[in-house]
Structure 1
Amino acid sequence: MKAVVFDDFGPADVLRLDDVPEPELRDSDLLVRNHAAGVNRADIIQRTGGYGRDSFGDSAIMGLEIAGEVIAVGKDVQGFAVGDRVMGIVGGGGYAEQARIDYRMAMPIPQGMDYVRAAGIPEVFVTAHEAALHLGRLDAGESILIHAAAGGVGSAAVQLAHAAGARVFATAGAAKLDRLREFGADVAIDYKADDFARVIERETDGKGVDVIVDFIGAPYFERNLASLGYGGRLIEVGLLGGAKGATLPLDRLLYRHLQIIGTVMKSRPQRVKQAMTQRFRDRWLHAFDDGTLVPVIDSQFVLADAVQAHRRMESSSSVGKIILTM
């Protein structure tokens, strides 16, 4: 089968399409003929060496989410059969014509949804739900600040928070603010022109927000803590701006009863990923049927054009998901 591979870590043009062996079906696996796969920031990190050569017990081929048709099932599989249309998170192997997925990580594709849109759901919506609603414990009537809100996980988090009944603050570049409002943001903040901490202080009468979902890291850390209200929860999902240089104001942490929680999916144990998927599926999968939640697709590229897909992500000009099609 064809798959995107690379020999050495480096820029996008290290990627190439090549022949590789088909994945070996395990007892709890579905073998899926991929029709589409999502591109994620983690793929960039993998390509540039951030994870080393560790496959985390799965495939060394990149790609963390797929949508396609089941062509074989392992002997321990329950609830799925050959011919089913499925989407889900894989531990690697998405950038290929076929992939294996543990059936406990798979979800049925909503009726009437095409494979491209389905491939834009699993990684970002499961991650967003885990960050904002499970770890962040966001509830109706509370408020949340979501950074990098025009990206895949960010746009999913805005939709979920809005659907959960929260007041949503969201940051992005000026050209993307109208899209944030379409996703459900109540207050869209231009992170280049406005200091988000001052906007939060003004809009909340100094009370701060209950939850912050952050992908930036050190450059935002102190202002994030300043923007949290009593009992506030900061969920760190990424470090796009770097990991070093932040100062922790312990007095604010202590007296405001703040919580700082870090989360990453790729290196988590399989049972943890399964629980994350199940939580999202149980609460939200039906919401794609009536349009409450909508996968946001920025662009799509054929598998052979993975280089261009990675360059699109690295340009930071995308809104929503970048998809590879087979």
Structure 2
Amino acid sequence: MRAVKIKDGEFELGEAPDPAADGGLAVVRIRAAGLNAADLQQARGAYPAPPGWPDDIPGLEIAGVIEQPAAGWSAGDRVMAVVGGGAHAERIAVPASLLLPIPDSVDDVHAAGFPEAFSTAWDGLADQAGVRPGERVLITGAAGGVGTAMLQVAALAGADVVASVRRAESHAAVQALASDATVVTPDQEEAHGPYDIVVELVGGKDCLRRVRWLNPYGRILVIGVGAGEETSLRLFDLMRARGRVLGSTIRARSTVEKALLANRVRDGLLRALSAGRLTVPVDSVHPLEQAREAYARLGSPGKLGKVVLQME
């Protein structure tokens, strides 16, 4: 099968063995796959694939059709999933417990951008931060794939959302995802506080300065660190707020943990996705042959939503 291979820090199209279905694995023919910052980090050697997943084929989320079924699924079922790696190929073997059904109302391209971003949003906001109706939530980097998912999940939970987007030309499109949200530029964030939850999707040396804007018992949820992995925190500000700094990532979790999260996403979000109350903004779609261009787009500024590879 054709697959994107990581070689010397670069992405190139090559060949890989077809996966085998055994041990509760289903073989899925991939029709589309989302791109994520973790793919770029993996190519740099900073975020290796967890054990049991390909270490030279990037990709964390798939949409496709089952070719060789496993328990609970049939050949021909349309499915999507968060995987540990190997998504940027024509086929993949996936534990059946990780698969989610694709609603009939959702096409493959948009389904490919759903699993990682919305699982991250649900896990972070609902499971980790415990978002509640009426809480004020700031989302930094809200125009990216995870950012647009965070915005919608927070709004679905009944939160009062402030979305921070650097490029003013993207504000209207972000606003359209949650009509009651307030869309601001980063320099306007403080004026719209204080916040009960700050979702940090950018990182950088000054990102935890936002602890000063927390309400009592507020939470900072760190999900993205593209602007830098090291920061400083004035501890007295955290103490004053009786605040918490939380962090979360999905890729390195065990299959059991990922399956539990898949079930929570199924129960919490799939009905809203099917009904059109959640959407996956797609920045661009690239055929597998143009994988390098897709990764270049992923690493460039000014994106709105997901970059997707289309296999068929």
- TM-score bracket for the superposition, by shorter chain length: over 0.9
- Residue of structure 1 equivalent to 2:171: 177
Specify which of 184, 188, 202 is matched with residue 183 of structure 2. Answer: 188
2:256 pairs with 1:263: no
Residue in 1 that maps onto 2:223: 237
Which residue does the alignment assign to 1:200? 192
Query: Is the 2:202–2:226 Cα contact (8 Å) retained in structure 1?
Result: yes
Amino acid of the structure 1 residue aligned with 2:60: L
Aligned residues of 1:37 and 1:66 also touching (Cα < 8 A): yes
Partner Cα separation in structure 1 for residue 256 and residue 224 of structure 2: 22
RMSD: 1.4
Please name the residue that 1:228 is paired with: 214
What letter corresponds to residue 200 of structure 1 in structure 2?
H
Shift of 1:216: 1.9
Matched with 2:109 is 116
Aligned partner of residue 15 in structure 1, secondary structure = strand
Q: Which amino acid aligns with 2:51?
A: F
In the TM superposition, what whole-angstrom CA distance separates every residue of 1:87-129 from its partner, at most 9, and x where no partner exists? 1111111111101111111100001321111101100000011
User: What is the letter of the counterpart of residue 222 of structure 1?
Assistant: L
Deviation sequence 1:255-311 (CA, Å, 0-9, x none): 311011111111122222222221111111011122110111111000111100011
Q: Which one-letter code corresponds to 1:40 in the other structure?
A: N
> Number of residue pairs matched?
308
Structure 2 match to 1:7: 7
Q: 1:104 aligns with which of 72, 97, 107?
A: 97
Return the letter of the residue paired with 2:177. Answer: F
Which residue of structure 2 aligns with residue 275 of structure 1? Answer: 260
TM-score (norm 1): 0.91
Q: Structure 1 residue aligned with 2:197, among 211, 219, 224?
A: 211
Is residue 91 from structure 1 mapped to residue 92 from structure 2 by the alignment?
Answer: no
Is residue 2:31 matched to residue 1:66?
no
CA distance in 1, matches of 2:43, 2:170: 27
Amino acid in structure 2 at the alignment position of 1:70? I
Q: Is the 8 A contact 1:16 1:304 kept in 2?
A: no
TM-score (norm 2): 0.95
Could you tell me whether the CA contact under 8 Å between 1:90 and 1:100 is conserved in 2? Answer: no
Distance apart, 1:55 and its partner CA: 4.2
Instruction: Report the Cα distance in structure 1 between the residues aligned to 2:161 and 2:295, rounded to whole angstroms.
Output: 29
* Secondary structure of the structure 1 residue equivalent to 2:7: coil
Indicate if the aligned counterparts of 1:200 and 1:227 stay in contact, CA closer than 8 A.
Answer: no
Q: Report the residue type matching 2:4 in the other structure.
A: V
Q: Which residue of 1 aligns with 2:232?
A: 247
In 2: Cα distance, 1:325 partner to 1:147 partner:
29
Cα offsets for 1:5-46 (capped at 9, x unmatched): 02211xxxx221111101122322110011100011110111
Q: Name segments (4+ residues, structure 1) moved above 3 Å.
A: none
Distance 1:167 1:280 in 2: 22
- The one-letter code sitting in structure 2 at the alignment partner of 1:216 is V
Verify: 1:131 aligned to 2:124, yes or no. Answer: yes
Is the contact between residue 89 and residue 101 of structure 1 (CA under 8 Å) also seen in structure 2? Answer: no
Distance in 2 between the 1:51 and 1:151 partners?
A: 20
Corresponding residue of 1:204: none
Q: In structure 1, what residue type is equivalent to 2:181?
A: D
| Structure 1 contact 39–63 (Cα < 8 Å) conserved | yes
Per-residue Cα deviation, 1:38-93 (whole angstroms, up to 9, x for no partner): 011110111121125x543212211111111100024xx2x211110101111111
| 2: CA distance, partners of 1:195 / 1:219 | 19
Partners of 1:271 and 1:51 lie apart in 2 by 21
Paired AA for residue 132 in structure 2: D
Distance in 1 (CA, whole Å) between partners of 2:174 and 2:216 is: 26
In structure 1, C-alpha distance between the alignment counterparts of 2:153 and 2:89, rounded to whole Å: 30
Letter in 1 for 2:42: Q
Is structure 2 residue 307 aligned with structure 1 residue 314?
A: no
Deviation per CA, 1:180-216, whole angstroms, max 9, x where unpaired? 211116211112xx2422x234xxxxxx111111122
Checking the alignment, whether the CA contact within 8 Å between 2:209 and 2:233 is kept in structure 1 is no
